[in-house]
Amino acid sequence: MKFKRRLETRAVVDLVPMIDVVFQLILFFLVSTTFAVLPGISLDLPQSSTAEGMRTNGITITVTSEGNLFVNSEALTVDDLDAALVALGSATDVPRDAVPVSLEADAAVPNGTIVSILDSLRRTGFVGVNLRTKDK
């Protein structure tokens, strides 16, 4: 008895060209997309010749030239600063003297406002304060 051998054609789809095309489309859309510029707090930081770059992931206090005060993008007044700092300090398990605080003040902000913010920081137990400036 003679058996016939069936030759089956197996269809194999090569996915490499399709992956290349999809990757090129992703790159095209990433590069050609216009990113929305979110409005931020505009500051004219004072200049310093000895400024050092530093990243902080602690508390950021921002004071604009109009006298607006922001703590981590939340608008406050100088009178409410103590309560906000106490709330931020008790929200974490890290001791307050280890939390980095970055103070960003416009060049036109009066010295008295900065001193009152520093006093508020000392009263609430924050001691690591960095003053943000820009290079000359």
The pLDDT of residue 127 is 81
Judge whether 65 lies within some domain.
yes
pLDDT over 70 (residue 124):
yes
The pLDDT of residue 1 is 66
Domain count, the chain: 1
Judge whether 4 lies within some domain.
no
> Which CATH number does the domain housing residue 85 bear?
3.30.420.270
Reported pTM = 0.61
Chain segment 66-91, per-residue pLDDT in tens: 888 998 878 888 888 888 888 887 77
Chain segment 7-56, per-residue pLDDT in tens: 777 778 889 999 999 999 999 988 887 766 655 666 667 777 776 666 66
Domain that holds residue 115: 47-135
**Which among 80, 68, 54 is positioned nearest to 135, based on CA atoms?**
54
The pLDDT of residue 52 is 67
Judge whether 31 lies within some domain.
no
DSSP-derived secondary structure for the chain: --PPPP-PPPP----HHHHHHHHHHHHHHHHHPPPP--------PPEETT-------SEEEEE-TT--EEETTEEE-STTHHHHHHHHHHHSSS-GGGS-EEEEE-TTS-HHHHHHHHHHHHHTT---EEE--EE-
